[in-house]
């Protein structure tokens, strides 16, 4: 921004000199007014202007302070209220037993991995009333699962735990694009999806953590790979969330290579091979709901 101002001021100064020369020869309107108009158009015609925000010295204008991790988490998590109020966004109100099951499942994952979850102590799950298979999150453990994802792809409780572990890792580590969103009262689904997209390297780090967390929560880690393979086989369904078909394929390949290098210690832990009755009650209650 400072570079742009410097260039504009240089242009104005040059035009002043040129304008003085013209006034000696011709009696025509000044070009300086046009230069000022051009400068104002450049500065205020842009959609947004990013101001440098950081620690200010005594001689500088106080434009703001550097946003801390806590501030950033508070900012993004507060967007949930805007999202659920956005026209076209519908949240399925789950029953008491379903809420109790989901909240308990999140608590179980966090408590059995308390060394990892240093700031996150609880979470919540909201069910989006849409056929599009989606899983999204915001900081503070605010997780969104779509009805389409639950009905079509969550075939085993370990897959549900894998998805929840993935989003809890992102929420704990604040793995979201570092940008400040001006609150306007609404947040579209596309905007929330963009806030949840990561590149392949970032997603692989999340997958690795989520895989170990799934196992240490007492669930079958083999379903984590099965979940990635399911997405790869159904790219048309998941392209809205991922945004790049090639990325889904690459994730599966890299995760297989990761599994080959893993020691077998985790496999000695007691894991649940079968889904609980509470899982099936939750799935059936969502499946029975209409749009």
In the predicted model, is pLDDT for residue 62 greater than 70?
no
Q: Residue 221: helix, strand or coil by DSSP?
A: coil
Work out the angle at residue 225's Cα, subtended by the Cα atoms of residues 245 and 209, and round it to the nearest 5 degrees.
95
In the predicted model, is pLDDT for residue 276 greater than 90?
yes
CA 201 to chain centroid: 15
Q: Give dist(CA 179, CA 197) in Å, integer.
A: 13
Interval 223-250 mean pLDDT: 92
In the predicted model, is pLDDT for residue 11 greater than 80?
no
Which tokens go with 20?
Answer: 């003085």
In the predicted model, is pLDDT for residue 52 greater than 70?
no
User: Checking DSSP bridges between strand 124-128 and strand 135-138, what pairing results, if any?
Assistant: unpaired
The model's confidence at residue 265, banded by pLDDT at 50, 70 and 90, is: low
Per-residue pLDDT, 245: 84
pLDDT: is 65 or 86 the higher one? 86
- 8 A C-beta contact, residue 172 and residue 120: yes
89-135 residue pLDDT tens: 999 988 899 999 999 999 999 999 999 999 999 999 999 999 999 99
- Domain locations along the chain: 69-287
Q: Strand order of the sheet with strand 91-92?
A: 91-92, 124-128, 142-146, 135-138
In the predicted model, is pLDDT for residue 42 greater than 90?
no
Q: Give dist(CA 221, CA 249) in Å, integer.
A: 19
pLDDT: is 3 or 280 the higher one? 280
**Mean pLDDT for all residues in the chain:** 80
Question: Nearest to residue 240, comparing CAs of 290, 197, 210?
Answer: 197
Question: Nearest to residue 275, comparing CAs of 267, 266, 284?
Answer: 284
Q: Residue 219: helix, strand or coil by DSSP?
A: strand
Per-residue pLDDT, 15: 44
In the predicted model, is pLDDT for residue 73 greater than 60?
yes
Q: Positive or negative, the Cα torsion across 259, 264, 266, 272?
A: positive
Per-residue pLDDT, 234: 95
176-234 residue pLDDT tens: 887 777 767 899 999 999 999 999 999 999 999 999 999 999 999 999 999 999 999 99
- 8 A C-beta contact, residue 231 and residue 238: yes
Interval 244-260 mean pLDDT: 93
Other Cβ atoms within 10 Å of 106 Cβ, number: 23
Q: Positive or negative, the Cα torsion across 226, 205, 108, 217?
A: positive
Per-residue pLDDT, 41: 38
In the predicted model, is pLDDT for residue 247 greater than 50?
yes
In the predicted model, is pLDDT for residue 280 greater than 60?
yes
pLDDT: is 253 or 7 the higher one? 253
E strands within the chain? 91-92, 124-128, 135-138, 142-146
Interval 273-290 mean pLDDT: 91
């Amino acid at each position: 921004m400072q570079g742009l101002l410097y260039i504009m001021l240089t242009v104005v100064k040059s035009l002043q000199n040129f304008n003085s020369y013209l006034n000696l020869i011709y009696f025509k309107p000044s070009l300086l007014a046009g230069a000022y108009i051009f400068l104002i158009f450049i500065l205020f015609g842009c959609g947004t202007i990013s101001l440098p925000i950081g620690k200010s010295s005594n001689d500088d204008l106080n434009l703001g302070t550097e946003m801390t991790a806590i501030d950033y988490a508070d900012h993004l998590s507060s967007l949930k209220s805007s999202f659920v109020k956005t026209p076209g966004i519908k949240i399925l109100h789950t029953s008491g037993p379903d809420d109790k099951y989901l909240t308990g499942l999140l608590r179980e994952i966090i408590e059995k991995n308390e060394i990892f979850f240093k700031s996150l102590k609880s979470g919540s799950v909201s069910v989006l009333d849409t056929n599009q298979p989606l899983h999204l999150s915001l900081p503070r453990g605010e997780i969104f699962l779509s009805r389409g994802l639950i009905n079509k792809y969550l075939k085993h409780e370990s897959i549900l735990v894998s998805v929840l572990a993935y989003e809890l890792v992102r929420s704990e580590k604040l793995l979201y694009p570092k940008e400040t969103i001006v609150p306007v009262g609404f947040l579209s689904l596309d905007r929330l999806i963009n806030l949840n997209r990561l590149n392949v390297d970032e997603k692989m780090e999340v997958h690795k953590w989520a895989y170990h967390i799934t196992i240490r929560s007492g669930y079958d880690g083999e379903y984590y790979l099965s979940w990635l393979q399911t997405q790869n086989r159904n790219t048309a369904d998941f392209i809205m969330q991922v945004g790049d078909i090639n990325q889904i394929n690459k994730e599966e390949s890299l995760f297989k290579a990761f599994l080959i290098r893993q020691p077998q210690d985790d496999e000695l832990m007691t894991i649940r091979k079968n889904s609980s009755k509470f899982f099936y009650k939750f799935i059936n209650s969502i499946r029975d709901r209409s749009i």
